[in-house]
Amino acid sequence: MIKKLILPALLLSISIGNAQGKKTKTYEVASPEGKNKIQFQLVDNAPKYSVNHGKIQVITPSDMGFMLKNNEDFSKNFDVVKVENSTFDETWQQVWGEKKKIRNHYNQMVVKLQQKNAEKRKLEIQFRAYDDGIAFRYVYPKQGTKDSIFIMDEKTTFNLKEDGKAWWIPAYKENRYEYLYKDSPVSTLDTVHTPLTVESKSGLKLSFHEANLIDYASTTLVNNTGTQLKTDLVPWADGVKVRVKDTFTSSWRTLQIGENAGDLIESYLILNLNEPNKLGNPSYVKPFKYFGIWWAMHIGKYTFWEGEKQGATTDHAKDYIDFTAKEGLHHLLIEGWNKGWTPAWYENKMHMFSFTQSADNFDLDKVVEYGKEKGVELIGYHETGSNLINYMKQIDAGFALYKKLGIHTVKIGHVGSKLNMKEWHHGQFGVNYFRYVLQKAAEYDLAVFYHEPIKDTGERRTYPNMLAREAARGQEYNAWSEGNPPNHVVILPFTRMLSGPMDYTPGVLDVEIKQGYPGKRVHGTTAQQLAMYVCFYSPIQMLADLPENYAVPAFQFLKDVPTDWTDTKVLNAEIGQYITTARKDRNSDDWYLGSMTNEKARDISVPLTFLDSKATYEAQIYADAEGTDETHNPSAVAISKKTVKASDVLKLHLGGAGGTAVRFKKL
Ligand code: NOJ
């Protein structure tokens, strides 16, 4: 545990010498409470920055700048032209989210540089120091550059002062983001995706990521030497990293810094670095829970394609609509509703899906009409198969069809290793594609959730129709692979989920998957599946299981749990081991709690200090039954009730790979 080391806030520049004894000016910006500090200086005319948290140096002087085409080095030979400091403090409101009011409070330092050669190129580096981390980005201002600008490499490094344990997934792999996390020292990493979470030797919790990624390539991180992480921008197929005209603004390079694992989750730095809401509060964008004709396909009960076992038939759809209405939900996803599905749908091929023509045995108009009668809206589904040439030709027609039918949400999938079998999902091409679709969807009053997308960089602040995305190994792997081991679900909140809401598709209560493929199962308990709805944040949450598996008392929790919150608190957590999260419902005075553990059983005491101190609550507790763990009676949920107050301490027992979910109903 780190002691809090707070230095007084420092905003302006100071002057000191460099290591070689040659005098160079150091510019410094500290966060509002002085917790984090960034220093900038030119060393031999090359820009360098470093970062401190209290007295701990986190990043030692690290490189900045670019290599442009023709081997033009845009990382040295600079003069400082001007340094501007400012401070910013506002509290803004999320139209939906894990917390209603977010404070955006930082000190900024903008360093304006110019090269001393004939080109005289200008570069601006914007630094922001927050109390929960730091960020910086590059701006290439308009300066009459005639040629296109080709970035061949971004040279930014993060020289970690000390080694640490990193939780990582590999970059540049067939299955995009969908890998199990490994943990190993930073000094042994190859090329990895962000968010990259590191627990440093001194105990700090660090998350490296990026924010507000527009018309630029995504960043991966590569370790070439020691404890240095270097930016490795995902290239176009021809090797160029970024191609732009006149001007560019990189995404923010972000480093969240916490003293406890939960601090990373309670940090809103990524959102704060995105532009304010451009859409307002559109009535078509709403958080919700949904059922789907989906899990049945993944476990092999139905098929995505036409034929005897076809999932998306009018009859099945009507049954699911009846079930959805009976259980008080209002949204239903139906995959395989359209033409183009074949048994080879997941292979790397230029698949030709139609986004307007229904599959045989499926009458879209009739199903939509039936849903309307029952108060159930369909969720649109576009599986592109990563054939974006095909998709772009049809996107307007596909979205127009949904608009005509009164459909307001669309799930868009991108199965395939490369877009158009050519470009990485995370390259500039993909970055531009995913933002284009979001804006296009808004034109048709559609909210979006992506599968197989690029990583989240906080787009939902600017475009609240960006609901959630997958971008990690989700529940579906339990249906047809060796599955997600118990630690996966207690790593995700500290890694992938730091970037934004995830459509993990929880809620498989029949964890042994009795109707599924032999030997395939969920590697956790039913109570843990309930706890996910609180520990995993998403404005849309699937109730993924087959309807018949919800005929159990524990289902009540899933009916009750909301997906939109006023506040979020991580009560205790260790990365990859356990997490306990409490969230306050945005539409009532109730609180909810989820607690999850890895394979190890745990007893956890939770002080209920987050509750309103003047109120009394009924705690409705859904826990692993005695003796329950991943392999012993995993579906047994013990449901109990007790009256509690903020001064009480709740004792939880989690079985191995287990969990507890609690609703605190205000009395
Ligand atoms: C992968 C997605 O993650 C999953 O949700 C979907 O069912 C399949 N692709 C089919 O599109």
**In a 10 Å sphere around its CB, with 0-12 CB exposed, 13-18 middle and 19+ buried, how is residue 616 labelled?**
middle
pLDDT, the chain, mean:
96
Q: Distance, CA 451 to ligand 1 centroid (Å)?
A: 7
CATH architecture of the domain 472-667 equals Alpha-Beta Barrel (3.20)
User: Could you tell me which of 527, 531, 546 has the C-alpha nearest to residue 626?
Assistant: 527
Question: Of the residues 415, 450, 541, which should be mutated to test ligand 1's pocket, given the most ligand atoms within 8 Å of the CB?
Answer: 415
Give the pLDDT mean for 337-363.
98
pLDDT digits (tens, 9 = 90+) for 183-199: 999 999 999 999 999 99
Decide: 413 in ligand 1 pocket, CB within 6 A. yes
Query: With contact defined as beta carbons under 8 Å apart, do 408 and 361 qualify?
Result: no
Residues forming a β-bridge with 40 = 27, 49
Q: Is 536 left (phi over 0), alpha (psi -120 to 50) or beta?
A: beta
Of residues 14 and 148, the one with the higher pLDDT is 148
Strand, coil or helix: 193 = coil
Identify the pLDDT of residue 24. Answer: 80
Q: Is the pLDDT of residue 12 over 90?
A: no
Give the pLDDT mean for 54-70.
98
Q: What is the dihedral of CA 208, 456, 33, 277, to 10 degrees?
A: 160
Give the pLDDT mean for 155-181.
97
Give the pLDDT mean for 626-630.
98
CATH architecture of the domain 5-272 equals Distorted Sandwich (2.70)
pLDDT digits (tens, 9 = 90+) for 560-599: 999 999 999 999 999 999 999 999 999 999 999 999 999 9
Q: Specify the residue with its C-alpha closest to ligand 1, atom 7.
A: 294
Q: Which residues, 6 or more positions from 90, have their beta carbon under 8 angstroms from its beta carbon?
A: 103, 104, 105
Q: Is the pLDDT of residue 255 over 60?
A: yes
Q: Distance, CA 398 to ligand 1 centroid (Å)?
A: 18
Q: Specify the residue with its C-alpha closest to ligand 1, atom 2.
A: 451
Q: Distance, CA 499 to ligand 1 centroid (Å)?
A: 21
pLDDT digits (tens, 9 = 90+) for 200-238: 999 999 999 999 999 999 999 999 999 999 999 999 999
DSSP for residue 257:
E
Identify the pLDDT of residue 10. Answer: 40
Q: Specify the residue with its C-alpha closest to ligand 1, atom 5.
A: 451
CA distance 250 to 348: 31
Strand, coil or helix: 70 = helix
Q: Specify the residue with its C-alpha closest to ligand 1, atom 3.
A: 451
Identify the pLDDT of residue 16. Answer: 45
- Selecting among 470, 476, 512, 618, the annotated active-site residue is 476
Tokens of 270: 């990524």
Question: Of the residues 176, 301, 335, which should be mutated to test ligand 1's pocket, given the most ligand atoms within 8 Å of the CB?
Answer: 335
**Cβ count within 10 A of residue 644:** 20
CB under 8 Å, gap of 24 or more: what pairs does 339-348 form? 340/383, 340/385, 341/303, 341/304, 341/305, 341/306, 341/383, 342/305, 343/303, 343/305, 345/304, 345/305, 345/383, 345/385, 345/415, 346/415, 348/416, 348/417, 348/418, 348/421
Q: Distance, CA 571 to ligand 1 centroid (Å)?
A: 33
CA distance 186 to 166: 6
Q: Is the pLDDT of residue 9 over 50?
A: no
Q: Which residues, 6 or more positions from 623, have their beta carbon under 8 angstroms from its beta carbon?
A: 527, 637, 638, 639, 640, 652, 653, 654, 660
Identify the pLDDT of residue 7. Answer: 36
Question: Of the residues 334, 451, 502, which should be mutated to test ligand 1's pocket, given the most ligand atoms within 8 Å of the CB?
Answer: 451
**347 annotated active-site:** no
Decide: 232 in ligand 1 pocket, CB within 6 A. no
Identify the pLDDT of residue 22. Answer: 54
Decide: 415 in ligand 1 pocket, CB within 6 A. yes
Decide: 451 in ligand 1 pocket, CB within 6 A. yes
**Look-up of token digits 């309103």:** 612
CA distance 10 to 501: 34
Give the number of the atom of ligand 1 that is nearest the alpha carbon of residue 381: 11
Q: Where in the chain is the domain with CATH 3.20.20.70?
A: 278-459, 472-667
DSSP for residue 620:
E
Tokens of 143: 């300066």
Q: Distance, CA 264 to ligand 1 centroid (Å)?
A: 29
Q: Distance, CA 297 to ligand 1 centroid (Å)?
A: 10
Give the number of the atom of ligand 1 that is nearest the alpha carbon of residue 304: 10
CA distance 481 to 475: 10
pLDDT digits (tens, 9 = 90+) for 608-626: 999 999 999 999 999 999 9
pLDDT digits (tens, 9 = 90+) for 517-553: 999 999 999 999 999 999 999 999 999 999 999 999 9
Instruction: Please give the model's pTM, rounded to 2 decimal places.
Output: 0.96
Identify the pLDDT of residue 341. Answer: 98
Give the pLDDT mean for 331-358.
98
Helix, strand, coil percent values for the chain (each to nearest 5) = 15, 35, 45
Q: Distance, CA 102 to ligand 1 centroid (Å)?
A: 33
Decide: 335 in ligand 1 pocket, CB within 6 A. yes
Give the pLDDT mean for 128-148.
97
Domain 278-459: which CATH number of 3.10.310.10, 3.40.980.10, 3.40.50.2000, 3.20.20.70: 3.20.20.70
Decide: 383 in ligand 1 pocket, CB within 6 A. yes
Q: Where in the chain is the domain with CATH 2.70.98.10?
A: 5-272
